[in-house]
Structure 1
Amino acid sequence: MTDAPILPILLHPAPILRAKARAVAEGDGPRVSDLAARMLSTMYKAPGIGLAAPQVGEALRLVVLDVAKEEDPAPMVLVNPEIVAASTELAVREEGCLSLPGQYADVERPARVKVRYRALDGSRQEIEAEDLLATCLQHEIDHLDGVMFTDHLSILKRNMLIKKFLKEQKLKSREAM
């Protein structure tokens, strides 16, 4: 785990959550390393298993995640990740989001994916994933394209979930006064 300073996590409906993030360029290197460390700290503190740069206000194609058991962390940093293959077989898994805290729904996605990305050192990497890791990768890469897990739900379910979230946020802000 990392002890870098944490970042504020943006909540729905922050506009950057709906914007397409730009690719990380070569000149972004040192900034991206620092951002990745801070994102990991933020993700672990939340606690969560994945975090995309737009969720902390950075419109960059950068994702951090860790689906390992808490006592045996295995953090991953993916720069400019892209899904290059997905199975036709689908799987349903309950998803939540640090930008919609407390809201969960079953989401259907491809059961397996292959993701190509760059590591922080610039090396090209590829990972084939299934189960929780496949879901997490798809969820976080969606964030880089301005897509939230609620977009995979029926309009009725999506509206109910978002309405409930906004109502809870309103109550919290009243209590904080």
Structure 2
Amino acid sequence: MKTLTDLLLLGDPRLYETCAPVERDELPLVAGWVADLHNVMEEIRAKYNFGRAIAAPQLGIMKRLIYMNVAPPVGRGPVVFINPVLENLSDEQFELWDDCMSFPHLLVRVKRHKSLTIRYLDEHWQPQTWDLTDDFSELLQHEYDHLDGILCTMRAVDAKSFKWR
């Protein structure tokens, strides 16, 4: 079981790599990966009091996999996104202070699309589609960026868009 000590931190070269798709024959591995993601996210929540989702590459699992766990009524509870694709990104954007588990004390001012559609496979390899707005839209954009080796530090609005938490 992976723990907080397995979390890749800012500067680790693996955080800048593009992840490979999850292959269908790897589906039996997904439950273990998700358990690791869940465990580390819970440790982050306990230590830093934040964390709604985590991308597999943050634990060195270089696969296109995102785990989100936002309790109802705000969220759906645990959701596993396998090989997600973002579509219909709105022209309208908004700015926010973004945080990241891989650098938990740093906040970065970024712009994100107000709404989008995410297509993905669930943990049963079934295709799903979800239209997202506002908080969930920005959250999934952040996690999706991790799959392409992009950190929010690379999306900073300007050179002054950083602050210590």
Partner of 2:7: 9
Q: Distance in 1 between matches of 2:16 and 2:52?
A: 21
Could you say what the CA RMSD is over the residues aligned between the two structures, in angstroms?
A: 2.4
Cα deviation, residue 68, structure 1 = 3.4
Mind listing any 5+ residue stretches in structure 2 that lack a counterpart?
A: 46-50
SS state of the match for residue 134, structure 1? helix
Counterpart residue type for residue 160 of structure 2: K
Structure 1 residue 45 and structure 2 residue 43: aligned?
yes
Cα deviation, residue 157, structure 1 = 3.4
Mind listing any 5+ residue stretches in structure 1 that lack a counterpart?
A: 166-177
More helix by share: 1
Structure 1 residue 99 and structure 2 residue 102: aligned?
yes
Partner of 1:146: 149
Q: Distance in 1 between matches of 2:7 and 2:61?
A: 11
Contact 1:12–1:100 (Cα < 8 Å) also in 2: yes
Q: Distance in 2 between matches of 1:102 and 1:157?
A: 16
Partner of 2:19: 21
TM-score when normalising by structure 1 = 0.81
TM-score when normalising by structure 2 = 0.87
Contact 1:52–1:64 (Cα < 8 Å) also in 2: yes
Contact 1:21–1:146 (Cα < 8 Å) also in 2: yes
From the superposition, tell whether residues 73 and 101 of structure 1 become closer, same or farther in structure 2 (CA, over 3 Å).
Answer: same
Give the alignment partner of residue 86 of structure 2, picking from 83, 86, 95.
Answer: 83
SS state of the match for residue 104, structure 2? strand
> Deviating runs (4+, > 3 A) in structure 1?
4-7, 67-73
- Determine what percentage of the aligned residue pairs are the same residue: 29
Cα deviation, residue 73, structure 1 = 7.2
From the superposition, tell whether residues 138 and 70 of structure 1 become closer, same or farther in structure 2 (CA, over 3 Å).
Answer: same
